[in-house]
């Protein structure tokens, strides 16, 4: 089957949209509300650009992320202008100020979708193209974000990302993209949880299970951000919470402790301070050893080496 290249206009193979947030989330739903704000501010900017162009642009890179409700990856080399993608064979056009144009020879109609009527690259293609502009660790966290646990916010599956970058052998920074996907894990809830997991791997701890379901003593079911199920040891990140959410989290952790679990709690200061970070992971290591784990620690490891593809696929 021959793929038809695209320029600024749509073909017939547009992927159906499934990324629109139709109702404003409640402010206490912090991640969802942030995604709503990002999506709608991007929609307004895209509307302004399209209104002054004589063609339909294909929005890509950070602008496509914005249409999906995702902010710029940390350390991304691109600025905040609107980003448009075109095929190298597309007819040359003049673009208004504030629009950065990127040529991509692999662009096809099968890589496009619509969000609120605006044409943009699909999440997997957006991720792949951003590989040349983002630091490696930020790309891992972006993959985690695209495959997050919240169905309202998830934009791709792990297989979507893996299969897309695997099918692009000449992708710029393709090795970075492939290793980032290898080291990403679906089902996380925030970039801080991603940092917590990656920090554990760098420290030399075994890889924890993400969002592990636990049956509590009262017959209920709760989820841990990360866990070592065989030893009933968990790790939780505490971010910004409204009072009600904080109370619920406290009650949830009490229930887990009553069920025999030891749960270690990390804050943002834990992740960004080397001394605190080492103390935190050292406590987890000691708890694993006390619970009967053998050969818990590996030498301190580099994320680049860990993403070499010899790691198991996510469950």
- pLDDT tens digits, 25-70: 998 888 999 999 999 999 999 999 988 887 889 999 999 999 999 9
- Long-range contacts, 44-52 (Cβ 8 Å, 24+): 45/82, 46/82, 46/118, 47/118, 49/82, 49/96, 49/98, 49/99, 50/118, 52/96
Sequence spans of domains, the chain:
30-186, 192-290
Q: Alpha-carbon distance 150 to 31, whole Å?
A: 9
| pTM exceeds cut of 0.95 | no
Q: Alpha-carbon distance 18 to 115, whole Å?
A: 8
Phi, psi (degrees; rounded to nearest 5) at 108: -135, 165
| DSSP 8-class letter at 5 | B
Model confidence at 104, pLDDT cuts 50, 70, 90, reads confident
Helices (H), 114-190: 123-130, 136-146, 158-166, 174-183
280 HSE (CA, 13 A, CB side) = 24
The percentage of residues in the chain with a pLDDT greater than 90, rounded to a whole number, is 56
The mean pLDDT of the chain is 86
Q: Alpha-carbon distance 106 to 86, whole Å?
A: 10
Residues ≥6 apart with Cβ < 8 Å to 274: none
| DSSP 8-class letter at 231 | G
Model confidence at 13, pLDDT cuts 50, 70, 90, reads very low
pLDDT at residue 5, as a whole number: 36
Q: What angle do CA 29, 213, 314 make, to 5 degrees?
A: 95
Q: Alpha-carbon distance 197 to 168, whole Å?
A: 28
Mean pLDDT of 71-83: 89
Model confidence at 217, pLDDT cuts 50, 70, 90, reads confident
Do residues 307 and 180 lie in contact, with contact meaning Cβ atoms separated by under 8 Å?
yes
> What is the assigned CATH class of domain 192-290?
alpha beta
What CA dihedral angle connects 180, 183, 184 and 186, to 10 degrees? Answer: 150
E strand spans, 54-184: 82-86, 99-103, 112-115, 118-121
Tokens of 42: 């991007």
pLDDT at residue 315, as a whole number: 57
Tokens of 218: 């009262």
Position 129 pLDDT exceeds 60:
yes
Burial class of 51 by CB neighbour count within 10 A (0 to 12, 13 to 18, 19+):
exposed
- pLDDT tens digits, 141-173: 999 999 999 999 999 999 999 999 999 878 888
16-20, 295-299, 301-305: the lowest-pLDDT one: 16-20
Do residues 236 and 266 lie in contact, with contact meaning Cβ atoms separated by under 8 Å?
yes
């Amino acid at each position: 089957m021959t793929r038809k290249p695209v320029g600024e206009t749509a073909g017939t193979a547009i992927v159906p949209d499934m990324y629109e947030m139709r109702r404003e989330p409640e402010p206490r739903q912090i991640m969802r509300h942030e995604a709503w704000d990002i999506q709608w501010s991007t929609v307004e900017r895209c509307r302004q650009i399209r209104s002054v162009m004589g063609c339909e642009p294909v929005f890509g890179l950070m602008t496509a992320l914005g249409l999906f409700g995702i902010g710029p990856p940390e350390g991304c080399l691109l600025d905040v202008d609107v980003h448009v993608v075109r095929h190298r064979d597309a007819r040359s056009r003049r673009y208004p100020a504030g629009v950065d144009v990127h040529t991509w020879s692999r662009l096809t109609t099968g890589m496009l979708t619509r969000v609120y009527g605006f044409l943009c690259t699909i999440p997997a293609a957006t991720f792949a193209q951003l590989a040349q502009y983002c630091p490696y660790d930020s790309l891992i966290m972006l993959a985690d974000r695209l495959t997050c646990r919240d169905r309202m916010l998830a934009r791709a599956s792990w297989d979507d990302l893996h299969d897309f970058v695997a099918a692009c052998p000449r992708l710029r920074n393709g090795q970075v993209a492939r290793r980032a996907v290898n080291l990403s894990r679906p089902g996380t809830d925030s970039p801080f949880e991603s940092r917590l997991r990656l920090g554990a791997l760098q420290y030399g701890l075994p890889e924890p299970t993400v969002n592990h379901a636990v049956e509590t003593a009262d017959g209920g079911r709760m989820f841990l951000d990360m866990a070592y199920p065989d030893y009933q040891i968990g790790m939780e990140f505490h971010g910004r919470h409204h009072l009600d959410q904080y109370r619920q989290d406290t009650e949830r952790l009490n229930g887990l402790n009553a069920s025999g679990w030891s749960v270690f709690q990390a804050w943002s200061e834990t992740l960004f301070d080397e001394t605190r970070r080492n103390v935190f992971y050292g406590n987890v290591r000691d708890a694993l050893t006390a619970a009967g784990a053998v050969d818990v620690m590996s030498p301190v490891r580099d994320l680049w080496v860990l993403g070499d593809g010899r790691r198991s696929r996510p469950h």
